[in-house]
Amino acid sequence: MHFTGVPLATLLQIGALAGAVVVVFYILKLRRRPVAVPFSKIWERVLRDKEATSLFSQLKRLLSLLLQLALLALLLLALGDPRPEANLIEGRNIVVLIDASASMQAIDVAPSRLERAKEEVRKMVRGLSGSDRMLLAQMDAAVTPLSTLTGEIAELEAAVAAVKPTDAAADFARALRFASDTLSGLPSPEIIVVSDGALGEPADAGGPVRLGDVKLSFLPVGEGARNAAITEFSVRRYPLDKSRYEVMLEVTNTSDEPLDLELSLLGDGQLTDLTRIRLKPREKLPRFYPNLSGASKSLEARLSLADGSSDDLPADDRAYALLPERRRARVQVVSAGNMFLEAALLLDEYLDVTFVEPQRYPAGSSFDVTIFDGVAPNVAPGSGSLLYLNPTGANLPFEVGKEILDDDPSYRLGFDELDAKHPLLRYTALSDVNIARAHTLKGEKEDRVVGRSYKGPLLIEGRRGGVKFVALGFDVRESDFPLRIAWPLFLLNAINNFVEEDTSYISSFRTGAVWHIPASSSAETATLEQPDGTERTVPIQDGRAVFLGQHAGFYTLRVGAGGAAEESMFAANLSAPEESAIAPAAELKVGGQSAGAVSEFKIGVRRELWVYLLAAVLLVTAIEWLTYHRRVTV
């Protein structure tokens, strides 16, 4: 037996002193006050009663003394916190990783997998031995420690209650590295994973995770596997008719049985399409809705079983998207005259174009985009994003290189390399454009080359101080570019890219990733309202609000305060087929090591003897109180 609290020598000293004080108080007798009585016979009777009970009175005082000394001894032992030697040696250091990813919202076990997991963890907490220490961490797209490495039951139970579900996949490798780093150098280390097993391979950029001599245990949760999910959902407006749009989505049956489903499409909260489909086991079905109209802001897809019930995972039965804002972009064109440029800009009715001669720039208003055609004046405030065509001069955010000519009869000057996936080149074909004369462009390290010839870059894009720019290194009139349909599409793509009207299929963010949301570049922070109505402050870096999103739904971003606040909305979706495959795993392997079963937790048994000693103190106190009031010890 070892004393882990107050040392034994100190306890003996305190016990001797306190015991002596208790004994002294019981040895002292009360001084009796002499009282004259008128009748001696009464006094003789009192003396006879006293003689008859003197032995019993001594025994009563002795019993009271023994109770007080027992009370003192129990208190001293509790202060010493005595523990068996085996208990000190066998204490474990445990990190419990609680899976809070989207699949843990499955309702195949009541009330959900996550709630069942939390209940199992509570049982482990209550079954900790006196020398065990435990840390609880929530595992989702990030790893969030919810407690310290402690044996305090109250702190650990509060940590269990703080676990909340997310709509993201779990980063298993990150969680394991966090746990192994926490346990590094500690005796009897153990990692307990509480999950349905849908975690993927424990590997990241640093390679596979190796746990070494750390014990790995697995507590599986879940039973069912019947689930269908919306695994892709996106929307875009048509570039030349922004009143109409098209939707593309994908529905996946992740279970091993065929499912009859109902797929609903809602625009601004109103039902626009309802389709019944039947999916074979493990089948993926893409759906395309062209030439739609009616919705102006939001779209939502909903999936349910044909009988109206829900599958085992409702979290992936909804998907959200926002249509790009349909507004007239204000464009300022600074040019001495360019018929091809003017004609291309007239094709889009949602462009409010202002033409300005170079000597009259700026036009005295604020614009979303300014196009500099063959000129490069000092950029005035309110010019918005910048498109340079055939840039010249020194007032440029990049360098203009040497002039290059189409003087090689065996090799035409044009675009030899193109970043085909860049938004500027959407729906265009520039590989066969012929150019008579151009200048190479040289940006900074973080700038992006979109197109280059064999003689150097001709099309670049970048950002300076939060202001985006695109530069084309030749006069379009000295090429056959404006004779192609790619010319107006290039201009519209550039303007749409500037004003964030992205017409690609990516119309929402994916949960579990760090989002970079367009925001005012002059602000440092913004307020983000989440789908559940809660708000939080997020930082702004280079004109983008940065946030790790883990919940699907519609978000609102506010920059500024009061009536001057700028407000924008965006959507986020789960879109993770691996999370929708909810069949629970029978075992868990890390680095070839199979996780064992969770053991050595006995609910209701605590090895801290001081707890029982304090209980004994209360019992002895109750006995003392009872004997005193029944006149047994007085």
**Each residue of 25-58: pLDDT tens digit?**
666 644 455 666 665 555 565 555 555 455 445 5
Has residue 503 got a pLDDT over 50?
no
Q: pLDDT tens, 557-608?
A: 998 876 667 888 899 999 889 999 999 998 898 988 889 999 877 655 455 6
If residue 161 lies in a helix (H) or strand (E), which one and from where to where?
Answer: helix 153-161
504 in any annotated domain: no
- Banded model confidence at residue 89, pLDDT cuts 50, 70, 90: very low
634 in any annotated domain: no
- Banded model confidence at residue 609, pLDDT cuts 50, 70, 90: low
pLDDT of residue 504: 38
Do 185 and 110 share a structural domain?
Answer: yes
Has residue 111 got a pLDDT over 90?
yes
We report the CATH number of the domain holding residue 430 as 3.40.50.880
CB 341 within 8 A of CB 255: no
We report the CATH number of the domain holding residue 237 as 2.60.40
Do 393 and 296 share a structural domain?
Answer: no
494 in any annotated domain: yes
Number of domains in the chain: 5
Phi-psi map region of 83: left, alpha, beta (phi>0 left; psi -120 to 50 alpha): beta
Do 245 and 258 share a structural domain?
Answer: yes
503 in any annotated domain: no
Do 432 and 395 share a structural domain?
Answer: yes
pLDDT of residue 299: 92
Please give the residue range of the domain that contains residue 547.
509-572
Q: pLDDT tens, 261-283?
A: 999 999 998 998 999 999 999 99
Q: What angle do CA 152, 156, 160 make, to 5 degrees?
A: 170
Question: Does the global pTM surpass 0.85?
Answer: no
341 in any annotated domain: yes
578 in any annotated domain: no
Handedness of CA 554, 555, 561, 564 (dihedral sign): negative
Do 489 and 431 share a structural domain?
Answer: yes
Do 370 and 494 share a structural domain?
Answer: yes
Q: What is the mean pLDDT of residues 328-354?
A: 90
Do 531 and 427 share a structural domain?
Answer: no
Instruction: Pick 34 or 246 by higher pLDDT.
Output: 246
> What DSSP string runs through 389-455?
ES--SS--SSEEEEEEE---TTS--S-SEE-TTSGGGTT---TT--BSEEEEEE--TT-EEEEEETT
The Cα 407–Cα 469 span in angstroms is 30
Do 217 and 196 share a structural domain?
Answer: yes
We report the CATH number of the domain holding residue 159 as 3.40.50.410
Has residue 9 got a pLDDT over 80?
no
Has residue 88 got a pLDDT over 60?
no
Do 247 and 214 share a structural domain?
Answer: no
CB atoms under 10 Å from CB of 105, counted, come to 21
Do 13 and 158 share a structural domain?
Answer: no
CB 587 within 8 A of CB 218: yes
Has residue 509 got a pLDDT over 60?
yes
Do 375 and 464 share a structural domain?
Answer: yes
Instruction: Pick 626 or 523 by higher pLDDT.
Output: 523
Do 333 and 392 share a structural domain?
Answer: yes
